[in-house]
A and B are shown apart, each in its own frame.
Chain A
Amino acid sequence: MHYLKQIGSYFLMVVEMFRKPTKWSVMRRLILKDIDDLIIGSIGIVSFIAFFVGGVITIQTALNIDNPLIPKSLVGFATRQSIILEFAPTFISIIMAGKVGSFITSSIGTMRVTEQIDALEVMGINSINYLVFPKFIALTLYPFIISIAMFLGIMGGLAACVFGGYSTYEDFITGVQLDFIPFHIVYAFIKTFVFAFILATVPSFHGYFMKGGALEVGQASTTSFVWTSVTIILLNYVLTQILLS
């Protein structure tokens, strides 16, 4: 019953997010700030993780292919498929649930604890629109981060493959270009947009409706990470079933 109530409150919050919009001149500044905090601020860590995990995927694939009948180009092919289909959209989203999600929950939760949200409400401002909508708009640029992750993941794989001596540059590039299906990119970006929505709204929900003090802000951040991850994993399954099966 409690979970049903929570889910209901979440959807009401989502509806409220699109109602009574904040003045555009104010909203523009909020969006730019959130783009800086959520998107620009995540590029570094996402690039670092993507590059090295791309390398690890390549090494593990190469080490598991010891049959001389299997062409060496398969390493590049497997790396590309793993990164584009799962690693970049899903794995990076789980990382973002920790980085961006915790940030959103704790910043909104702190505003709740320090009565800043009450101050907005007293002024007649739709606080949900004011706080959540700019994050949602900022995270529509999330596919940009995922594109970087895809590119750097494959580059990391290429570097690990060539410098580790698992296959040649030419074999890897041949594998990356092998049997390329453009719809896989569409599939990855559809998932990315859905996850961006989850990343903006689920942590906001946990921050906005939290009760208590500083300790509860920390607890809300943890709960938010768990539920954002669970939602992403479940939706990943549902979308894969719908789009690829």
Chain B
Amino acid sequence: MIEVKDLQKSFGDTKVLKGITTTFETGKTNLIIGQSGSGKTVFLKCLLGLFNYEEGSIAYDGSIFAKLSEDEKRNMRAKIGMVFQGSALFDSMTIAENVMFPLRMFTKQSKSEMRDRVDTVLNRVNLSDAHNKMPSEASGGMQKRVAIARAIVNNPKYLFCDEPNSGLDPKTSMVIDNLIQEITQEYNITTVINSHDMNSVMEIGEKIIFLKNGLKEWEGSKHNIFKTENEAVTDFVYSSNLFKKVRSVYIENDSKKTH
């Protein structure tokens, strides 16, 4: 579980995060949504420890990250898996070497143990025959799956994904969403996804946090989001006609059930 209390972050005179308090639960896919410029990426980078913040605290299973020693922070980071928006695969390494990288850095496993683990996770993301390909030879969807494999290879306790569906077609997006959700439940990890994709919100949003102007405007689940009357949320989530229709059908069905 990750607990965030009154998180505040500024760049110069501009306050980007104005006091966010929330909890990301273990074994659930937690989504951060919001318009561009709402502070999602800054929030995610604060969670990852890539940005320092002025006020508030972030606690990973009770340990406040900012108060940890350098060694403790390093150990904590070894428990974090991250899927970047552009996958961020090391382009000088093959796919298998990319996935093996965290094992080589943080474990004392033998080569054969590492190879077995790489085989396991690449099978898990359905890339069993891509070991020797270079990242440049892989499609966007494959690169995302390699990034997920690299993020989970060292059995992380926390998985962060920054717009995992950006640039992918709807079918591949669905595959990636389902994969992340399955992995979250299978490994019982705390997953935090920064997303713009409303399909993801509807599919895997077990907990959704909506940010607006650096503040948490709303939080709930994918079921609550259909019923919410919060204008900022409905403006953002139901901006397309398709989702307006989906919402009206959902509410109609829901009222039939209750009657």
Contacts and interface: CB of A to CB of B under 8 A. Distances in A.
Partners in one complex: yes
Interface of A: 20, 22-23, 25-26, 33, 110, 114-116, 118-119, 121-125
B140 interface: no
Contacts of B85: 115
Interface in B29-58: 48-50
Contacts of A124: 73-78, 80, 106
Top 7 closest pairs, chain A to chain B, by CB: A124-B77, A115-B88, A119-B88, A124-B74, A122-B82, A115-B84, A116-B88
A119 B82 contact: yes
A123 B82 CA distance: 8
A14 B74 CA distance: 21
Interface of B: 48-50, 70, 73-78, 80, 82, 84-86, 88-92, 102, 104-106, 160
B48 A116 contact: no
B77 A122 contact: yes
Contacts of A25: 104
Interface centre among A23, A25, A26, A115 (most CB of B within 10 A): A115
A43 B78 CA distance: 40
A123 B105 contact: yes
Contact of B86 (A20, A22, A26, A114): A114
B105 A122 contact: no
25 contacts: A20-B70, A20-B74, A26-B104, A26-B105, A114-B86, A114-B88, A115-B86, A116-B90, A118-B50, A118-B88, A119-B84, A119-B88, A119-B90, A121-B50, A122-B49, A122-B50, A122-B82, A122-B160, A123-B80, A123-B102, A123-B105, A124-B75, A124-B76, A124-B78, A125-B105
Contacts of A116: 88-91
A92 to B, nearest CB: 27
Contacts of B50: 118, 121-122
B104 A122 contact: no
Nearest to A30: B92
A86 B238 CA distance: 70
B80 A122 contact: yes
Nearest to A119: B88
A129 B78 CA distance: 17
Contacts of A33: 92
A139 B73 CA distance: 32
B73 A118 contact: no
B111 to A, nearest CB: 10
A15 to B, nearest CB: 14
B157 to A, nearest CB: 14
Contacts of A26: 104-105
